[in-house]
Amino acid sequence: MILPSITYVLFLISVIGIFWALESVQARLWLLLVASLVFYASLQVKYLLLMVALLMVTFFIGNAIVAPLDWRTPNARWQVAEQGWNRRRRWLLGLGIGVNVVLLLSFKYAEGLWRLGGWTGPSLWGLRLDDTFTGIIMPLGLSFFVFECIAYLVDVYRGSPAAETFVGFGAYKLFFPKLISGPITRFHPFIDQVEQPKAPGLNGVVEGLWLIAYGAVKKLLLADHIAILVNLSFDNLPRAGTADIALALFAYGLQLYLDFSAYVNIARGSALLLGINLPENFDAPYFTASLVTFWRRWHITLGDWLRNYLYFPLGGSRQGLGRTCLNLMLIMLMAGVWHGNNWGFVIWGAIHGAGLVIHRLMQSLGKAAPWVAGFWGGFPGTVLGWAITQGLVFFSWLFFRLPDPQQFTLALQRLGATSADPQFVQKVYLESLGFSAGQLWLMLGGLFGIMGFTYAFRRGLKLELSWPVKLLLIPPFSLLAWLLAPAETLSYIYFDF
């Protein structure tokens, strides 16, 4: 049941109809929980019990963290009891975070650690362990699931109320539109919207349908077609030239953004039809003039999570410039490690970490030399900042797309002023795609230009499409996505993370 698909549309319509027909909040929560279990089972039933078990562990630990002191404790012993209570809460928080992190790391890194230790050939009861590891697939949505569980436990430890009922917590954690790839949400804003439901109204319905149709176009009409060029190019690296790899990198950057933001559009649209507003996850990140702004507008909820639950606890920017730079680098390295167990992800994180450190140093220099801040704040500095930022971002996608050292090393070698094999041009561009490299550059550049025009229209002129215009665009957008989709719908890129 992939977003978007006919099966998903029918499933969503059924859930929406039953949801608004029910009057009891408890009944609606049970519906969302059951529907989400059905949704996950349709994608990966073998890990359903594992996800439910992790859900239960997090729920019960969260409630244990807020368990009150016994009011009957004598005053003379209250301070001692309070100290023990605080130690117990810290221990429970560590236990809850530890269970989630260990489970996530086990799926992400078990194979890598096994091979790092040189254990590539032994057998256990006749079963080769290396074959067992390579056959393990990480549960869909586990990373986002774990991030939300950790956020919930930390919020409860900091004083937020724990979930009162298991069904309420389960409906939040397994909520099917956001379950696989986010956006990362917090428990209390979500549950408040379900417990105090507001019908979406005409504007809300149109907005929800528009987001679904718009997301379908971005996924089926754009991202999946661009993926054909990207896959063909990187599958034929030994024959590719400098210009070919540059084109593939530019295409991959667009594919990644369109693919991931399409999922979020469909998730947010689906939730709106249920009266639930999920947070935005992207805000024109390719039109930012600094890496700091890029990370405020790319995968917004992940950036918020990293700041609130890693950067600030490490000290943030409160302990001097040196410690701030160290924290920035550590956070981005952690972000890289979270994405996968190959060196390419670490390098990707290090590139972004170094970029954030340089930006922070330039800010510090700007305070001492006002002309520096004046230059970067002016038009030439903004244009140069945009070029540097996006050049760094698109270059770093090389290590994200080709995380294996052999792959990215070959790509870097071919990127260094080499000519393409004539067969690459003939087989990849002309025969497989039916376009020349120049035509592909023109089409992708045009798409990027449309994105820039849309951004300027929305942010510069403070204008948005009205609901009647969106209503008129929903049918043609849906039809285009349906008719012009590739023969095989590709999995979302972030399903792998």
Residues taking part in catalysis: 339
CA dist 129 and 357 (Å) reads 42
* Pair of tokens at residue 141: 């949505």
Q: Which helix (H) or strand (E) element contains residue 380?
A: helix 379-401
Phi, psi (deg, nearest 5) at residue 127:
-105, 125
Tokens 């194979």 belong to residue: 111
Q: Which helix (H) or strand (E) element contains residue 127?
A: strand 127-128
Q: Which helix (H) or strand (E) element contains residue 293?
A: helix 291-297
Burial class (CB within 10 angstroms; exposed 0-12, middle 13-18, buried 19+) of 309: middle
Q: For residues 376 and 362, is the Cβ–Cβ distance under 8 A?
A: yes
Is the peptide bond preceding residue 177 cis, with omega within 30 degrees of 0? no
Write a three-state SS string for 399-423: HHHCCCHHHHHHHHHHHCCCCCCHH
Which of 247, 185, 292, 245 is closest to 439 using CA atoms? 247
Q: For residues 144 and 100, is the Cβ–Cβ distance under 8 A?
A: no
CA dist 229 and 428 (Å) reads 8
Is the peptide bond preceding residue 183 cis, with omega within 30 degrees of 0? yes
Which of 135, 43, 60, 143 is closest to 95 using CA atoms? 60
Q: How far is CA 92 from CA 67, 147, 234, 389, in A?
A: 11, 17, 46, 42
DSSP lists the bridge partners of residue 128 as: 123
Which of 279, 274, 277 is closest to 29 using CA atoms? 274
Q: For residues 256 and 493, is the Cβ–Cβ distance under 8 A?
A: yes
Which of 442, 418, 417 is closest to 429 using CA atoms? 442
